[in-house]
Amino acid sequence: MELWFAEMHTPHIKLGFRFKKEIAHVKSRYQDIHLLDTHEYGKLLIIDGTVQTTEKDEFIYHEMIVHPPLFSHPNPRKVLIIGGGDGGAAREVLKHGVSEIHIVEIDEEVVKISRKYLPTISSAYGDTRVHLHIENGSDFIKHAGKFDAIIIDSTDPVGPAESLFQRDFYENLKEALNPGGVISQQCGTPFYHPEELCGVYSIVKDIFKHAAIYLAYIPTYPGGMWSFIMASDVPLERRRKIDFKTKYYNDEIYYSSMVLPNFVKEHCKKD
Amino acid sequence: MELWFAEMHTPHIKLGFRFKKEIAHVKSRYQDIHLLDTHEYGKLLIIDGTVQTTEKDEFIYHEMIVHPPLFSHPNPRKVLIIGGGDGGAAREVLKHGVSEIHIVEIDEEVVKISRKYLPTISSAYGDTRVHLHIENGSDFIKHAGKFDAIIIDSTDPVGPAESLFQRDFYENLKEALNPGGVISQQCGTPFYHPEELCGVYSIVKDIFKHAAIYLAYIPTYPGGMWSFIMASDVPLERRRKIDFKTKYYNDEIYYSSMVLPNFVKEHCKKD
């Protein structure tokens, strides 16, 4: 017998993963969480039917949501991660030799499942510099203190992450940044949902002096093309070279990931 | 009732397309050809179960197999396309104001179906500068004359295209280039089949003085990350700026598409 899970990318396109067994299934207060053991991608974390991360390709997402903003900063010390309960973003932030990481995850069950079943992703929780707060990110940011970088590693802008894509939230983020600070956020697939990316981009570039869209290849996400935004009140440039091991990011990708195909630029009316 | 076609990307991963109806199905001497009318991607051409092109995203593949090599040449006049029976690559080559395009397609049925059902892709056949040869590309190249650019727009290296991925073939290609001439070829998905890309790359860089791997986002191809190789005996640099309309390629992408993630470089032992 073959077991398959399929994610609907649109009502007419689906990506199917053959799996060996379901490892865990939790209905939390906020979300429906599944963990499957797949043949191709290792363990696959699914929230509300949407692929979150897999053991085989998580390195791309986690490196790319973290390293472009962190290499834009000359010396990041204190970093806030909003969402990111699986710990993958924190693992990458630790490579920068920071002094303090705060993870604000709304759903404790995501943390529990990740710590129990995804040790290579959640390893950062074993580091004393990593502090976990189970709280809504848009509330936390109002009393959070100041950070050199803030990574918004959220689910898509429907469901519990909705407040993380609103104007107020970005204004609060800006308040919570030290001078020279930088933010990044995942913004979905420009191929199927350019309106999601362009909506966030138009807010962010209004609030910050400098904003950039950048892209990464993520095979398990819709369209394989994933967008991120980074923003700051200082110009976005690579301020340090990489001095640790990565599987996707390198010094050249800092700039090449910001080069957008015409159809993406045109959707967001960007030159 | 819902109709679905699924392409197996690996034995454990499949991409499903919901379709309205099958428009055509031809078993040619060489291949099994299907044309489906899909909900998301418009018409979808499938050969031997493998997605070849769709109306919605074909622009990415056709622009990227043509423009990087052609903009590497200061003044391409005569261009050879090996494969490419759908006409999409020829359509992009025509934008460069060339004087002559030769398409060498082994399977006449691919041309017939494309001309009949995919008019936006096959439009180049209406241009008097486009000459079609129904022949095996690896034979044709031995008596082909000389070209400024040769585009190898083939299916994958199993089945009828197998001879287009062998050492002899590239030696013949080199012979068929005018001084300053350039070639390009699609090389599959580095995510699932790095050995395919690296195999071709190791041959090509042995035969040509300069060779480069470059990438494009193609949502309907396995992994969404597609690789190409271009090669020449002159250095690969952008020798002209773009002066016509495209939906994917732009002047910056010429260079950014050659920046490779670490895992691709490491597979091909390339710095």
* Count of A-B CB contacts under 8 Å: 115
- For tokens 């806030």, name the residue: A80
In sequence order, which residues have a C-beta less than 8 Å from that of residue A15 and are 6 or more positions away?
A6, A7, A9, A51, A220, A222, B13, B14, B15, B16
The string of pLDDT tens digits covering residues A104-137 is: 999 999 999 999 999 999 999 999 999 999 999 9
Cβ–Cβ of A15/B13 closer than 8 Å?
Answer: yes
Interchain contact A17–B (C-beta under 8 A): yes
What is the per-residue pLDDT for B165? Answer: 75
Query: For B163, phi and psi rounded to 5 degrees?
Result: -70, -15
Cβ–Cβ of A15/B15 closer than 8 Å?
Answer: yes
Query: For B50, phi and psi rounded to 5 degrees?
Result: -110, 130
Record the pTM: 0.96
Q: Which residues of B touch A215 (CB under 8 A)?
A: 217
Q: Which residues of B touch A225 (CB under 8 A)?
A: 217, 219, 224
- Residue A157 pLDDT > 80, yes or no? no
The closest alpha carbon to B79, from B173, B188, B219, belongs to: B173
End-to-end CA distance of chain B: give it in Å, rounded. 52
The nearest alpha carbon in chain A to B18 belongs to A12
Asked if residue A69 and residue A37 are part of one domain, the reply reads no
Can you tell me the distance from the alpha carbon of A146 to that of B193, in angstroms, rounded to the nearest whole number?
A: 45
What is the per-residue pLDDT for A163? Answer: 74
The nearest alpha carbon in chain A to B215 belongs to A217
Q: Which residues of B touch A44 (CB under 8 A)?
A: none
- Residue A188's region, left for phi above 0, alpha for psi from -120 to 50, else beta, is left
Can you tell me the distance from the alpha carbon of B15 to that of B37, in angstroms, rounded to the nearest whole number?
A: 16
The string of pLDDT tens digits covering residues A30-86 is: 999 999 999 999 999 999 999 999 999 999 999 999 999 999 999 999 999 999 999
In sequence order, which residues have a C-beta less than 8 Å from that of residue A148 and are 6 or more positions away?
A73, A75, A76, A77, A78, A79, A98, A177, A178, A180, A181, A182
Q: Which residues of A touch B255 (CB under 8 A)?
A: 256, 259
> Residue B201 belongs to what domain range?
58-267
- Residue A199 pLDDT > 70, yes or no? yes
- Residue A161 pLDDT > 80, yes or no? no
Angle at Cα B214 formed by Cα B209 and Cα B215, nearest 5°?
165
Asked if residue A44 and residue A64 are part of one domain, the reply reads no
Percentage of chain B with pLDDT > 70? Answer: 98
CATH classification at residue B50: 2.30.140.10
pLDDT in tens, chain B (271 residues): 999 999 999 999 999 999 999 999 999 999 999 999 999 999 999 999 999 999 999 999 999 999 999 999 999 999 999 999 999 999 999 999 999 999 999 999 999 999 999 999 999 999 999 999 999 999 999 998 999 999 999 887 666 677 777 899 999 999 999 999 999 999 999 999 998 899 999 999 999 999 999 999 999 999 999 999 999 999 999 999 999 999 999 999 999 999 999 999 999 876 5
Asked if residue B152 and residue B106 are part of one domain, the reply reads yes
Boundary of a domain, candidates B18, B35, B54 = B54
Contact B152, B166 (CB under 8 A): no
The nearest alpha carbon in chain A to B15 belongs to A15
Partners of residue A103 on adjacent β-strands: A81, A132
Contact B207, B174 (CB under 8 A): yes
Asked if residue A118 and residue A26 are part of one domain, the reply reads no
Asked if residue B72 and residue B22 are part of one domain, the reply reads no
Interchain contact B214–A (C-beta under 8 A): no
What is the per-residue pLDDT for A79? Answer: 98
Asked if residue B205 and residue B253 are part of one domain, the reply reads yes
| Prediction ipTM score | 0.95
Asked if residue A214 and residue A118 are part of one domain, the reply reads yes
CATH classification at residue A222: 3.40.50.150
Contact B38, A12 (CB under 8 A): yes
Contact B235, B210 (CB under 8 A): yes
Q: What is the DSSP string of A180-224?
A: EEEEEEE---TTT-HHHHHHHHHHHHHHSSEEEEEEEE-TTSTTS
Asked if residue A144 and residue A173 are part of one domain, the reply reads yes
- Residue A229's region, left for phi above 0, alpha for psi from -120 to 50, else beta, is beta
Asked if residue B86 and residue B172 are part of one domain, the reply reads yes
The closest alpha carbon to B67, from B239, B207, B220, B261, belongs to: B239
Question: Catalytic residue positions of A?
Answer: 153
Sign of the CA dihedral with B66 first, then B71, B72, and B75 last? positive
Interchain contact B2–A (C-beta under 8 A): no
> How many domains is chain A partitioned into structurally?
2
Question: Catalytic residue positions of B?
Answer: 153
The H or E element containing residue A73 is none
Asked if residue A208 and residue A97 are part of one domain, the reply reads yes
In sequence order, which residues have a C-beta less than 8 Å from that of residue A69 and are 6 or more positions away?
A149, A151, A182, A183, A184, A230
Asked if residue A46 and residue A15 are part of one domain, the reply reads yes
Asked if residue B260 and residue B132 are part of one domain, the reply reads yes
